[in-house]
Structures are given as structure tokens and as C-alpha cells.
Amino acid sequence: MARLTARKRKLTIAAASVLALAGVISGTVAMATQDSGGAPGHARGPSPDGRAGTPGIPSASVSRGPVSPEISHDAEDPGKVVNLTIDDGPDPVWTPKVLDVLKKYGAKATFCMIGPQAKARPDLVKKVLAAGHRLCDHSVDHNTAMDKRSEDYQRQQILDAQKMIEDAAGPGVPVLYYRAPGGAFTPYSRKLAADHGMRPLGWNVDTHDWQRPGTERIVETVEKELREGPTILFHDGGGDRSQTVAALEETLPWLKNQGYGFSFPKS
């Protein structure tokens, strides 16, 4: 009987030790979570600009899970919103002007960048990010016949541009989308982009601003075609974009007066 009592006492002491150790581990985890800036028991989620942690500070800890190869046209936010997308930059003249107009009206946008232009102007890439906008891969050479070329060519165009943009942006900043030049997607290019963390990105409203049809025509196109969907295509590169800047000066306040907010495409 005495032998059984001693054995029970040893088991009780061992169980208490295990519980104490579990409490120490639990407390350590809670402290670590609080130190990261999140609520106890919750990891800090992505900021509105698609980066993890504190807004404005890129982090390599972004974890998005599988990315769909289907072309995104919708907004990630519910309700009455638009997705502004700006293609073919960054451009040393027009990108800063576009950024100024977006800031003036509190609008966010996704910038679809040409790889070599991003590589040549990392200061502008970082300026885009600092303003809370998102990045999109728009290939190396902007070849609108990419869908007629080999898979090796498509791979080079997409992945080389992604690396150039990421290098210009800085460590840990994700390129969330891939937009094929002229919409020249293929099943292969969509899957390749998705496998590398980039959602294929389409559009609903093509303003044709790259043709320079006149500011009034660009504005009219947005107002007439917005019923087709929320994602609007503008350009900040590829030539004189003074009409685009002027059209944004009219379009953005009109959108706000109509009750629209600004979102990002689903990624």
C-alpha cells in the first residue's frame, strides 16, 4: 500500500510539471504574438495594399495560398467600387502626375509595369508602393502577339518581368497580378502566372486612352461602360499621357459623386 501511494505521488508531480511547462510555452507564444503587433492568438494579416504587417512596410511573410489562373475582373471589396488599373509604366513624366491625381482624390490603383522600365526606375516603383498602390507584371517587351509565341517565350516574358519589378520594389514586396499585353493570355501563361503568385488580370472598361481620343471621349467611355464591370484600364506609359491625366482629374471626382469607392482586383 505504501509502495502504491509513493507511485501516485510521483505521477502527480510529473503531471504538474507537464502542466507548468505547457503554461510557460503558452505564455511565450502569447508574448511573441503581442510583440508582433497583433492581438493575442492572432497573426497580423495583410495590409490593404497587399503586403503583410505594418502598412507601407513590405514583408517577406506574405502567405496567400493557391492563386487562381482564371482572369480576374471583379473587385475584392463588396459594394459600389471600381478598380483603377494603370498600364505600361513607370514613366518619369506621367507616372508622378498620375500619382498626384490619385492622391488628390484618395484613390488607389494597380500599376501594371513593363519589366525593363521598372528596372530602370526603381524610385518610381517604390513611390507607387509608398502611396499604397499595388503592382502587376505587364511582361518584358509588351508583345501583344504573345499568345502566338512559344511557351518558352511566354515564360521568359512573364518571369523575367516579375523579377525586374520585384527587384525594383525591394525585398518581400509581392507582384500580385499578371496582365498580358493586349489581353493576349493563353492557358499556359495564366497557369504560369498563378503558379508564381500572380492572378491573371483583365479589365471591363477600356478607355482607349492610349489612342489619345481626347479627354472628353475618355471620360465618356468610363461613364458609359462602367455598367460592364468595375475594372477600368488607363495608361501612364507608352507616349504622351496628358489626356489620361486630364481625364482622371474629371473621372475620379465624378466616381466619388456617384457613390463609388476604390478597391483592388481580386487576387
Residues designated catalytic: 87, 235
Phi and psi at residue 152, to the nearest 5°: -60, -40
**Do residues 260 and 254 lie in contact, with contact meaning Cβ atoms separated by under 8 Å?**
no
- Beta strands (DSSP E) in the chain are 81-89, 109-113, 134-137, 177-178, 199-200, 205-206, 231-235, 261-262
Give the span between the Cα atoms of 98 and 231, in whole angstroms. 17
Question: Which secondary structure element, helix H or strand E, spans residue 224, and what is its range?
Answer: helix 215-225
**Do residues 75 and 232 lie in contact, with contact meaning Cβ atoms separated by under 8 Å?**
no
**Do residues 247 and 101 lie in contact, with contact meaning Cβ atoms separated by under 8 Å?**
no
Collapsed DSSP state (helix, strand, coil) of residue 199: strand
Residue with C-alpha cell 467611355? 221
Distances from the Cα of 189 to the Cαs of 194, 246, 266, in angstroms?
Answer: 8, 34, 18
Strand 81-89 versus strand 134-137 pairing type:
unpaired
CB-side neighbour CA atoms (13 Å) of 44: 19
Write the DSSP assignment of 13-65 as a string of letters: HHHHHHHHHHHHHHHHHHHHHHHTTSPTT----B-TTS-BSSTTS--TT----
